[in-house]
């Protein structure tokens, strides 16, 4: 039996995810946890599985994912990015579908650094004229 296997790296904010994709029955392990244990939020779970759902691949592939850095939302974003890359490598004709849904592009927004003399990156203390 041919164990077709591909890999994709995804990044978002300060998270990076390594997504290993095998042909299979739809098992998903994230940092050796089930999806529901990894993200308690239904919204995040739905977003995480969106690339599979949109391409009707949820029961055709198994995923083994390791993700580090950032918070849950950034990690899910990184997984989606990596999963998309792995899917395109696995089956190239999925690219137009995934591109249309906006999964292919890396979201490059990051937290802006705090500046000296300010409270946050851009928030200053209240100005008092007197």
Architecture field, domain 5-100 = 2-Layer Sandwich (3.30)
pLDDT digits (tens, 9 = 90+) for 16-45: 999 999 998 999 999 999 999 999 999 999
Determine the longest span between alpha carbons in the chain, in angstroms: 80
pTM of the predicted model over 0.85: yes
pLDDT digits (tens, 9 = 90+) for 63-110: 999 999 999 999 999 999 999 999 999 999 999 999 999 999 999 999
- CA–CA separation, 115 vs 112, rounded Å? 9
Residue 54 contacts by C-beta under 8 Å, 6 or more apart in sequence? 97, 98, 101, 103
């Amino acid at each position: 039996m041919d164990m077709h296997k591909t890999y994709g790296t995804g990044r978002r904010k300060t998270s990076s995810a390594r997504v290993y994709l095998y042909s299979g029955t739809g098992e998903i392990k994230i940092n050796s946890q089930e999806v529901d244990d990894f993200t308690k939020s239904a919204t995040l779970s739905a977003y995480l599985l969106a690339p599979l759902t949109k391409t009707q691949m949820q029961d055709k592939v198994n995923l083994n994912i390791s993700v580090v850095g950032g918070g849950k939302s950034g990690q899910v974003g990184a997984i989606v990015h990596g999963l998309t890359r792995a899917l395109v490598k696995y089956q190239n004709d999925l690219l137009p579908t995934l591109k249309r849904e906006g999964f292919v592009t890396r979201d490059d927004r990051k937290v802006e650094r705090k500046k000296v003399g300010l409270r946050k990156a851009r928030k200053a203390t209240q100005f008092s004229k007197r």
